[in-house]
Amino acid sequence: MKNNESWNWEINANTKWFDWNLRELVSYKDLLFRFVRRNLIASYQQTILGPFWVFIQPVLTTLVYYIIFGKVVKISTGGIPPVLFYLSGILFWSFFSDCLNGTMYTFLQNANIFNKVYFPRLVVPFSNVISHSIRICIQLLLFILLYLFHWVPGGVYGNYYILLTPLLLMLAAGFGLGAGLIISVLTAKYRDLDYALQFILRLFMFATPVVYPASIVPPQYQLIFWLNPLTVVIETFRAAYFSNEPVHYFRLAFCVTEVLVLLVVGITLFKKKELKIMDVV
């Protein structure tokens, strides 16, 4: 008898550079959301305060920055209420940092799963970004409450650029995801890169306007300063919520281009190396 059954899938040692097969993620959407649920539950499991840490962490960090940079160092916030200034920078930096750190250890932290069962490996970094996106959306509620508290007496004012908030969140997430995918391939093979990257990440925070406004950066460093996608994201967010100044669309468009290129490179490299990299983990 002839066997008319057709194969549903095929494992091949050699994959094409742009063979992403992202449609496969749709088939594994249930697994994706299970990973998201696992990440959210595991983050605050066996803690006394539980989910309240979503608010406590940014609040405590904001207070520390306010005391050190606002009262001791006395760095200007450009007329923005200090608490809102530091909180806005902290939220986006923490979001990017969490997406990056959660993605860059994809192979190292999930090697035991990857070696036992097949599923699209992109499910893991995508679930990490979605779980952190849920967290920052909850944290933005805290920001909105503080924003309204300062807005009612007339201390702050925003403009219609506030509608760009979802785009800014996607840019920060895309930056962390794209960079994390590239780094995940490198750190899986070269473990000592992890120590260097953690050090670079700490320095990178001070190259991003988290605790200072872009206006105090010397003119000779402005070009390099604005090449950082997070600089555009944070400064656009502050311009939307705290001033009537127009958004620089050229900088925003360049930021979108940078993030898209980084995502393309990250996903392409990740998909190309996802099978072979398990041999060295």
Least confident of 40-54, 183-197, 220-234: 40-54
Domain ranges (residues) in the chain: 47-279
Taking 80 as the threshold, does the pLDDT of residue 276 lie above it? no
**What's the average model confidence in pLDDT over 251-268?**
94
Taking 50 as the threshold, does the pLDDT of residue 217 lie above it? yes
What is the model's pLDDT at position 225? 92
* Long-range contact pairs involving 105-109 (C-beta distance under 8 Å, separation at least 24): 105/184, 105/187, 106/180, 106/181, 106/184, 107/184, 107/185, 107/187, 107/188, 107/277, 107/278, 107/281, 108/184, 108/187, 108/188, 108/281
Q: Kindly indicate the confidence band of residue 233, based on its pLDDT and cuts at 50, 70 and 90.
A: very high
What is the model's pLDDT at position 1? 45
Q: pLDDT per residue over 140-165, tens digit each?
A: 999 999 888 877 666 667 788 889 99
What is the model's pLDDT at position 229? 94
Q: How much of the chain, in percent, has pLDDT values that exceed 70?
A: 86
Q: pLDDT per residue over 110-145, tens digit each?
A: 778 877 788 888 899 999 999 999 999 999 999 999
- The whole model's pTM is what? 0.87
**What's the average model confidence in pLDDT over 198-223?**
89
Q: Kindly indicate the confidence band of residue 14, based on its pLDDT and cuts at 50, 70 and 90.
A: low
Residues 28 and 123: beta-carbon distance below 8 Å: yes
Q: How far apart are CA 245 and CA 258, in angstroms?
A: 24
* More reliable by pLDDT, 2 or 238: 238
Residues 131 and 40: beta-carbon distance below 8 Å: yes
Average pLDDT along the chain: 84
Q: Is 153 exposed, middle or buried (0-12, 13-18, 19+ CB in 10 A)?
A: exposed
Residues 197 and 191: beta-carbon distance below 8 Å: no
Taking 70 as the threshold, does the pLDDT of residue 5 lie above it? no
Q: For residue 180, which amino acid is it?
A: G
Q: pLDDT per residue over 66-105, tens digit each?
A: 999 988 888 888 888 889 999 999 999 999 999 999 898 8
What is the model's pLDDT at position 150? 79
